[in-house]
Amino acid sequence: MMTTEAASQVYEDTWIPSACGMCYNQCGIRGHRIDGTLVKVEGNPDNPIGRGRLCARGLAGIQLLYDPHRVNRPLRRTNPEKAIGGDPGWQEIGWDEALDEITTRLKAVREEDPRGLYFAGTVISLAPLMHALGTFLPAFGTPNSFVSDGHHCGNAEHILARTLHASVTTNPDVAHCSYLLLFGCQAGLGTYYALTTMAQDVADARIRGMKVVAIDPFLGSAAEKADEWVPIKPGSDGALACAMLNLLLNEYELYDADYLRDHADGPYLLTEDGWYARDRESGRPLVWDANAAYARPFDATDLGTVALDGVYQVDGRPCRTVFRALREQVAKWTPEAAAEVTTVSAETIRKIAREFGEAASIGKTIVIDGQELPHRAASALYFKGAHGHDNAWSTSLAIELLNEVIGASNVPGGLLGTNPVCFGHPETGFPRWEPGADVDGLLEAGALLYNDPHGRSPGWPPPPTSAELPNLRDLVGWPITTCFTPAALNDHENFSFDHRPEVLINYGSNLLMSAARPEVCFEAFKDTFVICFNLHSDETAEALADIVLPDTSYLERLDPIPNFTRHHHPVGMGDWGHTIRQPMVEPLFERRHFSEVLLELGGRLGITEPMNLLTNHLYGLVAPHALAPDEQYTWREIADHAYKGWFGEERGLDWFEEQGVITWPKKVEEVYWKPFIHARAPLYNEWVKRSGEQVAKIAQERGMKGIDTEGFVPLPDWKPCRAWKPRDGYDLQAIYYRVPWHTFSMTYENPWLDEISRGEPYSYFVCINTATAHAKGIADGDPIEVEGVDGGTIRGRARLTQGVHPEVLAVANNGGHWAQGMPFARGKGVFFNQLLPMDLEHTDLVSLSMDCDARVRVQKVPEA
Amino acid sequence: MRLGMVIDLKRCIGCYGCQIACKAEHGTRPGTTYARVVKREWGVYPNVKKLSIPVLCMHCAEPPCVEVCPTGASQKRSEDGIVFVESDFCVGCRACVMSCPYGARYFQDEQRDYFDTGENEYEQALYAAHQAGVVEKCDFCRHRLEQGQEPACSANCMCKARIFGDLEDPNSEVSRLIREEGGFQLNPELGTDPSVYYLPPDR
Ligand code: SF4
Ligand code: SF4
Ligand code: SF4
């Protein structure tokens, strides 16, 4: 920092390193402050996350900081009548008054039944969210938390990222990839994890000759750049992937036998009932020792050649290998069968399956940093377009297995878990996390979101035990996020809870818009005392909040190691980069940082001690850097402990405030870890089959009628999603897609980003295929009404385009705000989520993914 | 020296980062976007293509805007070819706006603000540099060049699709790309000889 004193004034001109918070990716930024005013935010070239380059949102953050419509002081509702779109009659109050009331309410709840406190948060502000989830809420004693944008989160992808990649998310190793297959996903080409770094790497790879195939109903930014756009019917990606598996395994014989035998459970034997055949004594899964002609535990020391394929007699009963079971499972998915449901021609399916298999260069190796490694130069990646359906689990599994069968998993060129191996900073050995093998020889992730100093997180997945928690944590506890809570609260037929939501703390999320149609969350919490801690008086605040607390934006607050969850680091070789988020200006008006307020509330409620212990767990702090249990720390002190605990005594908060980021080179064993760690990727998901049986049993015991466990399959298959259910006159499927200049619905209030959308042809319109529109008498620009089969009607203007599947309507993100407190955003874009119900019927129970598309009909309406 | 830019239409994903990088650098008012992106679509489903074309002032070697300017406010710098407006001399007649075939010049009739509440703290600080009643345009970030930095849009582009350099130096990256990758100018038939080149999207 540089501050010089001129004769008559203090003149300040300084650059401050920090981390972006306009989406979830936490890219490195630096801000230019002159005389107390922030005049520029740009990329920080010293930070490996973004390497000095930002997306449009990150560059526009300054207009969030200085948005005149931000909430600046605590507000209290004066209109007791809560209503969607109603006027709360806000009255400004002081912080003391607000916190006194909140403390009284929380104390009462805690004495009565702590589960009466509910919490909803947003993943965009991940560090404060993790602080709440990891410390305040468990210390208070409530399990009732959910993430409102869970609807649009990875769900099934996170589960498979864990089982197959020991991680939370994945990204392709484009530096060594020559064929990238994207299923409803825009990695490096639109919105996705590590966007700003991936954009650079994908562009470099494409110039080098990497081919991109985009499978998507809408010609969005990824499809625009793809060498080939393959339009597909929404919800059918799983059928396409099954057909590709069939071709690779049964027709082209393009698979990596060595990988499947040695690094996956391919050779494990299955009983006829679909369980691993196990050794009577040790309980270990059995494989077929071809030399001994005998089934032996997979980890027997003197195994001969292990059979990958075939059916063998074990105890007089036929047992298939997992590999054989997979081959047989996908055999019915001929390209012709898949063509029928996907509308992708059999010829195209054959072509991309062959190209993908051949690009994998099975058998080839590459030397990186002196290590000879398998080089599998093809990756298949997927996101919400593919798994935003109630067949999410099976669809995601089918796509993941494309990578597994060609051995393109955590080796150069393939799909990489986002940094599941870290040996720590060279001087401190911290942070450290590393996967290993469980008793069955299967991959077990290292610490994922929390920083257990032992670096492992065994005991996963949690078995289904009951159905007494509205977030289904006791029933389906393995998805990392879900927004199912309001649906469960509303579903009195299937669920009965012995406590009700007395108080809801809603942090940074706009539940009413982001979860599903607004009625769902409104119904669930209309009788609850609701505290919204947010930047704006948004739709949720105006409908539900009793008190609104003014949050700091990411440019006004301190978050220690905001990218401590490793999926914020780009994949591939390069540098680790742990950063700081620090105020570029002091919080304006009376805005306060959520985490600091939680510390104060913790003190008022007398739960400082458990919060301190849980903070140690969250950041993996051990002596001498662990927090003392009984001390009341400031947020700055906690940050200082966290930094010193990770990077040494001399690198505390001060050091990071100055330097912004600490970097060190990744090791090849960290990045391409699969050949170095003996743990098998499970192709066969015995745990899903087992969980399904347990869930069915619980449902039966409790008389729950709506629980359908058909989707708990150990191997992939395909069934239509809910939006495929035919109904007369409802002839289209509505989907949403994402543009790289908006984050969910929150950025619609940003005037610079709005200016983009207004100049861009598609994103504020409902896109409809030109021929479809003509057949319906709809012309470009016509006002239209889209009516969902499950209720919910949206209005917008038609944009006729050739770049969308003829049976599909496509809407960008989620606009159409109506809150008085977001006047700039009001009426901009289209409110897609109005079409989406939230209930068991529209949810994939394995992953808690919801059907994010809807069966609809469209008609032209008169000008408003 | 002739400063110019190469925009690689294969790398560019149409993210609008350049539009906002420019806005953030210059703090321009609503409607003024020295750097912007044009989207095009052609073909018939399913054989359809989209393309994003980022545009800015072409810093023409033969700039009609300079020619028509009655006061000499619009100038081309002899040392590097940058075309710019000397605001103090501009009388706001807008002849140059009419003459520019690339829509690269902006004139604000009334000084609008983004928010209905007027200028916020940031805008108060940044708008001061923009005079009312004059024509404004991209100047290849002259103030950054003076400090040894490249223009804001190319420095930020997350696909590294914008490359800045000296067109007269045969060894510069821009010259090499134009030569080897089929660089072309927009509307060469107009005879303006732009200093912004494009690389084809399919190659
Ligand atoms: S990708 Fe996200 S975190 Fe990175 S610059 Fe863009 S908005 Fe900011
Ligand atoms: S910032 Fe780069 S990639 Fe984005 S639109 Fe501009 S030129 Fe294209
Ligand atoms: S693009 Fe327009 S403003 Fe720029 S130099 Fe050429 S004529 Fe002048």
A769: contact with B, CB 8 A cutoff: yes
DSSP B101-133: TT--EEE-SS---SSTT---HHHHHHHTTS-TT
Position A55 in a domain: no
pLDDT digits (tens, 9 = 90+) for A63-80: 999 999 999 999 999 999
Position A801 in a domain: yes
Contact A225 B25 (CB under 8 A): no
Question: Containing domain of residue A813, as a range?
Answer: 732-860
Q: Is A251 helix (H, G, I), strand (E, B) or coil?
A: helix
Find out whether B56 and B186 touch, Cβ atoms under 8 Å.
no
CA-to-CA distance for A395 and A237, rounded, in angstroms? Answer: 7
What is the predicted pLDDT for the residue at A453? Answer: 53
Q: What percent of chain B lies above the pLDDT cut of 70?
A: 100
A481: left (phi over 0), alpha (psi -120 to 50) or beta: beta
Query: For ligand 2, which residues put their CB under 6 angstroms from it?
Result: B 12-18, 37, 52, 54, 157, 159, 161-162
Residues A593 and A478 both lie in one domain: yes
What is the predicted pLDDT for the residue at A150? Answer: 58
Residues A761 and A613 both lie in one domain: no
CATH of the domain at A498: 3.40.50.740
Q: Which residues of chain B have pLDDT under 70?
A: none
What is the predicted pLDDT for the residue at A3? Answer: 43
Q: Which of A794, A795, A797 is nearest to A833 (CA)?
A: A794
CB pairs A-B closer than 8 Å: 158
What is the predicted pLDDT for the residue at A864? Answer: 81
DSSP A327-338: HHHHTT--HHHH
What is the predicted pLDDT for the residue at B13? Answer: 98
B58 lines ligand 3 (CB under 6 A): yes
What is the predicted pLDDT for the residue at A5? Answer: 47
CATH of the domain at A806: 2.40.40.20
Residue A462 Cα to chain centre, angstroms: 20
| C-alpha to C-alpha distances, A478 to A462, A475, A746, B194, nearest whole angstrom | 6, 9, 28, 58
Position A790 in a domain: yes
CB-nearest partner of B16 from A53, A751, A756: A756
Contact B45 A231 (CB under 8 A): yes
Give A199's contacts in chain B (Cβ within 8 Å).
Answer: 13, 15, 158-159
Q: Closest residue of B to A230, CA-based?
A: B46
Boundary of a domain, candidates A589, A607, A632: A632
B148: contact with A, CB 8 A cutoff: no
Give B15's contacts in chain A (Cβ within 8 Å).
Answer: 55-56, 190, 199, 221, 740-741
What is the predicted pLDDT for the residue at A10? Answer: 62
Domain count, chain A: 2
What is the distance in A from the centroid of ligand 1 to the CA of B142? 27
Write out residues 3-42 of B within 8 Å (CB-CB) of A: 8, 10-11, 13-17, 19-21, 23-25, 27, 30-31, 33, 36-37, 39, 41
B176: contact with A, CB 8 A cutoff: no
What is the predicted pLDDT for the residue at A2? Answer: 41
Position A608 in a domain: yes
B104 lines ligand 3 (CB under 6 A): yes
pTM: predicted TM-score of the whole model, two decimal places: 0.97
Q: How many C-beta atoms lie closer than 10 Å to residue A702's C-beta?
A: 15
Q: Which of A385, A401, A407 is nearest to A241 (CA)?
A: A401
Tokens of A403: 């990578």
Mutation site, A13, A59, A826, interface B, largest B CB count within 10 A: A59
Q: What is the CATH number of domain B3-199?
A: 3.30.70.20
CA-to-CA distance for B97 and B91, rounded, in angstroms? Answer: 13
Contact B158 A755 (CB under 8 A): no
B52: contact with A, CB 8 A cutoff: yes
What is the predicted pLDDT for the residue at A1? Answer: 39
Residue ranges of domains in chain B? 3-199
Residues A489 and A598 both lie in one domain: yes
Q: What percent of chain A lies above the pLDDT cut of 90?
A: 92
CA-to-CA distance for A646 and A574, rounded, in angstroms? Answer: 20
CA-to-CA distance for B171 and B183, rounded, in angstroms? Answer: 15
Q: Which residues of chain A have pLDDT under 70?
A: 1-10, 149-151, 451-458
